[in-house]
Amino acid sequence: MQFKGFKSKKRKTELGPVLTIIMLTMFIIVLSFVCSVFGLGSKTTSINSGELQNTLITVKNMFSADGVRFFFGNILSSFTVLEPLLMSIIALIGIGIAEKSGLFKAIFINIKKLRPSTITFFTLFLSIVFSFFGDYSYAFLLPLSAIVYKYAGRNSRLGILTSFIGVSIGLGAGLLFNNVDLVLGTMTQASAALAVDKNYVYNLVSNLYIMIASTLVLSILGTIVIDNMLAPKFTKKTPLEDEDLNMSRKGLRVTGLFAIVMFALVLYMIVPNLPGSGILLNQTGTTYMEKLMADTAPFHESAGYIFTLILMVCSFVYGKISGNIKNSNEYSIKVSDAFDGIGYLFVLLFFSSQMIAILNWTNLSTVIVCNLIEFLGSSEMSGILLVVTFFVLTIVMGIFIPDTVTKWTLLSPVIIPLFMKANITPDFTQFIFRAADGCARMLTPFFPYFIVMLAFLQRYNYDEENKITVFGTIKKLLPVTLTFIVIWLLILVAWYIIGLPLGPNTFTNL
């Protein structure tokens, strides 16, 4: 019953990210107990000493003695070994001082003359291309895109989301190959050679043509999608807060020379077979990509740090010439200014690290994924139906296990032989997996860089009525993600039907 003169009012309660993460963690703990009581488990297939090995894995109970010991014994280690935390700190040092010194203002001040669609296209395109650096790309491109959009007279949060989308979908595309492609290719080759064709050899450039084509298609169609589906939700401009920073053409020219010299020096250190060159290469690798991007390669390990060092030097040079930096003490203070308003990032990552560590320890995600793999492996699908089903199931798997290598370790021994028996090449199978894997990252709070993105969205949230939440952000991204999923499926199905070469001497069918 409603009395006259009174209106019923529903209050919309939105849980903040911290409480959401805590509640998800509690749900995982309770679910681990329920699943362990019922003995929920699955069979995993792995390659061990050149042979396929089946292992039964079950859900572990967090309420057990071992679970309690794990929870209290790994709180600090789970946080300190979180790679996004370290990479975000390194990235913020370089990007922060470049902004505070006025260097970014001098570089990007005229970008507002470009059309909004042009800015969207280049942000998306460059994010896809720079996915070459793997997950490190998120740490650098998210805060950098926020700054670019600020100077473009647009909303920084739109720039953050656009870059996040670009890096995610770019994991299956791009113009270059990275360390992950190298690792996945090794597992692909082992699975194919062991189960079906012992003479099969994976080639890094096997998917080159479809990668280049996908990059262009995703950039062009993605610009239309983002400008029509996402941009209207972020119409307010991000205010500029650097009116007191001086501009200096001389400073920009001199800084440019310093940048050229430093990039040339880095280039020399990754070029082999020259006098004193190749210092940053792993000399034990057999191919150049192994020397450059293997886990033990100095360049792969230090790429983010090198970029930050270049930014720090260039920022100091520009700051001194322009007068924005008076002395070394002021420079040191401005380096730390980059972390103003970003403490929220460390809070979110702390609670997120505990949630992810608990999820991994309980085996919940592994059991879910392995049951999906078993379902797909026992199916009798082939052709387009198999391609589409595998793509969709990989996205579902990616929600629970965002890490690419971990998923492929579980998938490749089963999926590669399955697709080869369906007359589909391992190269195309791996490409399908990579494309789907990137889409999944836009929909899961278990991906650490999704949490990093939330922190940057909050950093540039100037509207008190707007609440940055976990599921609210997923809701905003969902229509865009679904559209990109459709675009990816159209690319994959069209390539399969037409039978175009994936790369040099490589096709979709055996």
pLDDT in tens, 151-175: 999 999 999 999 999 999 988 888 8
Please report whether residue 186 resides in a domain: no
The helices-and-strands tally (H runs, E runs) of the chain is 21, 2
340-386: per-residue pLDDT in tens?
A: 777 888 899 999 999 999 999 999 999 999 999 999 988 888 899 99
Residue 218 CB burial class (10 angstroms; 0-12, 13-18, ≥19) = buried
Q: Does residue 232 form part of some domain?
A: no
Position 14 in a domain: no
The CA–CA distances, whole Å, from 248 to 101, 245, 297, 319 equal: 11, 10, 39, 9
Q: Is residue 504 in some structural domain?
A: no
The predicted structure's pLDDT at residue 8: 43
Question: Using CA atoms, how far apart are residues 67 and 235, in angstroms rounded to an integer?
Answer: 47
78 in a structural domain: no
Q: Which residues constitute the domain of residue 268?
A: 248-304
* Residue in this structure with the two tokens 């033990």, named with its chain if needed: 296
Given this model, what pLDDT does residue 5 score? 45
Percentage of the chain with pLDDT > 90?
A: 56
Task: Kindly state whether residue 258 falls inside one of the protein's structural domains.
Answer: yes
Confidence band for 12, pLDDT divided at 50, 70 and 90 = low
Band the pLDDT of 4: cuts 50, 70, 90. Answer: very low
pLDDT over threshold 50, residue 2: no
**How many whole angstroms separate alpha carbon 427 and alpha carbon 441?**
22
Tell me the pLDDT tens digit for each residue of 220-263.
999 999 999 999 999 888 888 777 788 889 999 999 999 999 99
Is residue 273, in this structure, part of any structural domain at all?
yes
Residue 1's pLDDT is 41
Phi/psi region, residue 126 (left: phi>0; alpha: psi -120 to 50; beta: rest), is alpha
CA torsion, ordered 227, 232, 233, 234, to nearest 10 deg: 80
- The domain total for the chain is 1
Asked if residue 224 belongs to a domain, the reply is no
pTM for the model stands at: 0.91
User: What are the tens digits of pLDDT across the range 119-144?
Assistant: 999 999 999 998 888 788 899 999 99
Farthest CA pair distance, the chain: 89
Structure confidence at residue 464 (pLDDT)? 66
Residue 3, pLDDT > 70, answer: no
Q: What is the secondary structure of 201-258 as a DSSP string? A: ---GGGGHHHHHHHHHHHHHHHHHHHHHHTGGG--SPPPP--TT----HHHHHHHHHH
Average confidence (pLDDT) over 458-471: 84
What is the SS3 assignment for 188? Answer: helix
